[in-house]
Amino acid sequence: AQSVTQPDIHITVSEGASLELRCNYSYGATPYLFWYVQSPGQGLQLLLKYFSGDTLVQGIKGFEAEFKRSQSSFNLRKPSVHWSDAAEYFCAVASGGTGNNRKLIWGLGTSLAVNP
Amino acid sequence: KAGVTQTPRYLIKTRGQQVTLSCSPISGHRSVSWYQQTPGQGLQFLFEYFSETQRNKGNFPGRFSGRQFSNSRSEMNVSTLELGDSALYLCASSPPASGGADTQYFGPGTRLTVL
């Protein structure tokens, strides 16, 4: 069955430090991969997505992610974290078929805290 | 463009009652999906509606149902509430050119507490 694993439940970094959030997926075909961010009291906001093509994807707020098929990973990175990046981060894979039959399968999230 | 809106934002119910949540998608979006978010289970897909028809369904009991109207607004109903139904219920809409799970835009959610 398709699944998404985010190994780190909670991460704390200092403001200005680099960040990498890990995401591993299990899916037989070429996946559609997403990273979303959820701030307290807010809905989920799409940071970036990978459908095909260049395996390094640029997103909003200075985030990027790299799709590595050999490692079944889609890790999220940011070179310099800002205090406003403190939030919950979710990795998701769209699976279950093609076109309109796809559903989103979610990781359990990584909570990011930023120290001043 | 206005984003996805959900009403009410907060709701408190007691066991055995039923509840209806509402979602208005972004203008022009015809696909609406619903998710349940809890600390223990994370985000779980409930169902997706497109053009007033349920197109996809998750693994939830029949107490959870939904519908979509001709203006793409969607409602979700939970009957015979249980304590375990306490959760944040999120609605998401998708642009017309995308498949059901592609590039979803989420509302702020409805926080349901069952006492």
pLDDT > 80? residue B85 = yes
Cα dist from B110 to A56, B68, B83, whole Å: 35, 17, 16
- Determine the pLDDT at residue A85: 96
CB contact under 8 A, A43 and B56: no
- Determine the pLDDT at residue A15: 97
A67-71, A92-96, B43-47, B96-100: range with lowest mean pLDDT: B96-100
- CA-wise closest residue to B109 among B8, B27, B32, B31: B8
Q: What is the pLDDT of residues A33-79, one digit of tens each?
A: 999 999 987 789 999 999 888 899 999 999 999 999 999 999 999 99
Which of the four pLDDT bands, split at 50, 70 and 90, describes residue A96? low
List chain A residues with CB under 8 Å of B108.
41-43
- CA-wise closest residue to B33 among B61, B2, B72: B72
Quote the CA–CA distance of A64 and A60 in Å, as a whole number: 8
Which of the four pLDDT bands, split at 50, 70 and 90, describes residue B101? low
Distance of CA A103 to the CA centre of its chain: 16
List chain A residues with CB under 8 Å of B43.
90, 92, 104, 106
pLDDT > 90? residue A81 = yes
